[in-house]
Structure 1
Amino acid sequence: MTLQRAIARFLVACMILLLPVAGTAASLPEGFVYCDEYIPDAVLDLRYFTSENFVGMPIDGYVTPRCIMTREAARALQKVQDDLKRFSLGLKIYDAYRPQRAVDHFVRWAKDLNDTKMKSRYYPNVDKQNLFKEDYIADRSGHSRGSTVDLTIVFTDGQGSVQELDMGTGFDLFDPRSWPDASGMTAEQRAHRMLLQVVMEKHGFVRYPQEWWHFRLAKEPFPETYFDFPID
């Protein structure tokens, strides 16, 4: 083999090594991480990747069932998880970072007043035309800034069994019963909501007044930036 041919083969090999590997995940924007890097034992129930949500179909931007948030939010949530684990409890995450395109999908759905197939489960007491007026749907979401999370608490028995604590309503119910301080809850349900609020606030999160499951990191790193990269 001539020197020239050897060099040519070496260069081809180098080019092959530099090619992206099929199936690898795209790198995240600076400051964002996958949740399982910090909270590998959190339970994930990512509703917007599935049809189990108020729209009734997978939502734009949710390409894979991965949970993404800012590094600061993940570190704070790791501390929440550590506190809960001492009592055989843990976190179950429904949603974290949400692309703007997903919010746009919600807006399009809310404007289609003929699509009410999920009404009985998610907004039985709200006329769909009032979802914007009553602040259940908006053009922007704090989730798109990367430091807001929807979650609940689960009991774990150490044998693989996981049971959600009874919070009085399910996730994403558009109803005053979902307000953290809603009346009509049992003492146990109020205690569960208070536990979630106390442990989240202890580690720097702020509750949302209309959803017991919704918390925002108070010192979020991107308070004015709404991201739109897909979850893949």
Structure 2
Amino acid sequence: MKKFLLIIILSFNFTLSAQKLPKGFVYLADVDASIQKELRYLSNNNFIGKPIDGYINNCVIVSKETAEALKKVQTILNKKGLSLKIFDAYRPQQAVDHFVRWAKVLNDTLMKQQYYPKVPKSQLFNLGYIASKSGHTRGSTTDLTIVDKKTGEELDMGSPFDFFGIESHPFYTNITKKQKENRMLLRKVMLANGFKPYDHEWWHFTLKNEPFPKTYFNFPIQ
């Protein structure tokens, strides 16, 4: 009897922690569990320096079409001993609103030296680093890199994820030949599988035929 009750309790807790996603969205791990993840906005390791609103659990959520396309990319990289690593994917509007509130508090510069050492915080809006709307909120944009499966190390891209500066532009020239090759490897495999790049961030890609091109969602990541 006690064992039976324990099963009921565990099942009840699982139900509480699970989330029914909107139609058209999936957990990436249900499509390809081999794709690695490090949700920066769930941690303190991001340009604000604290967890971001709407990030509750360590799971990657994307549109179904995006998940299938990422699976194709992962299959190609796996043959080279490599893997995708996701930093961010679907992002709720409440997280974007958190970014906007933070950007308006000019004396909150905890992570400046790491993420925007050369950019005045007052210019983050004008330069396009912070905006009131994000493609991530539509569910088909991903921020990602490539990892060497043998070493577990990220390939050297010449600048870190979310670094605000020209150094993060995909075709920035003042980096090594190998760093350029790594950026182009990521870019080439993403473009070949239906994604379009962003001009200012080597890590940022959006599915060309995204299913929700005008809808901005706000359900939490859990």
With structure 2 as the length reference, what TM-score do the two structures score? 0.93
Residue 60 of structure 1 deviates from its aligned partner by 0.1
Q: Superposition RMSD on alpha carbons, in Å? A: 1.0
Give 1:210 deviation, angstroms: 0.4
Asked if residue 112 in structure 1 is aligned to residue 102 in structure 2, the reply is no
Question: In the TM superposition, what is the alpha-carbon distance from 1:195 to its structure 2 partner?
Answer: 0.4
Aligned residues between the structures: 211
CA positional deviation for 1:22: 2.3
Does residue 198 of structure 2 align to residue 227 of structure 1? Answer: no
What SS does the aligned partner of 1:151 have? strand
Residue 197 (structure 1) aligned with residue 197 (structure 2): no
Distance across 1 between alignment mates of 2:93 and 2:145: 24
Q: Kindly report which structure 2 residues correspond to 1:70-85, keeping only aligned pairs within 5 A, or say none.
A: 70-85=63-78
Secondary structure of the structure 2 residue equivalent to 1:91: strand
Structure 1 residue 21, shift from structure 2 partner = 2.0
CA distance in 2, matches of 1:88, 1:58: 32
**Which 4+ residue blocks in structure 1 deviate beyond 4 angstroms?**
none
The reply on whether 1:55 has 2:48 as its aligned counterpart is: yes
Alignment match of 2:139 (pick from 123, 140, 146): 146
Aligned-pair distance for 1:227? 0.2
CA-CA distance at 1:39 after TM superposition: 1.8
What amino acid is the match of 1:203? N
Look up the SS of the partner of 1:164 in the other structure.
coil
Following superposition of structure 1 onto structure 2, how do residues 1-232 of structure 1 map, counting pairs within 5 Å? Answer: 21-24=12-15, 25-157=18-150, 161-232=151-222
CA distance in 2, matches of 1:67, 1:146: 10
Structure 2 SS opposite 1:36: helix
Larger of the two Rg values belongs to structure: 1
2 CA distance for matches of 1:224 and 1:177?
30
Q: Quick one: distance in 1 between partners of 2:209 and 2:12?
A: 37
Q: Structure 2 regions of 5+ residues with no counterpart?
A: 1-7
1:182-205, CA deviations, whole angstroms, 9 ceiling, x for partnerless residues?
Answer: 120111000000000000000000
C-alpha deviation, 1:23, in angstroms: 3.2
Q: CA shift at 1:31, angstroms?
A: 0.4
Give, in angstroms, the shift of residue 71 of structure 1.
0.3
TM-fit CA distance, 1:180 = 0.2
Distance 2:146 2:112 in 1: 26
Q: What SS does the aligned partner of 1:21 have?
A: helix
Using the alignment, how far apart are the partners of 2:143 and 2:173 within structure 1? Answer: 21
TM-score (norm 1): 0.89
Q: Which residue of 2 aligns with 1:3?
A: none
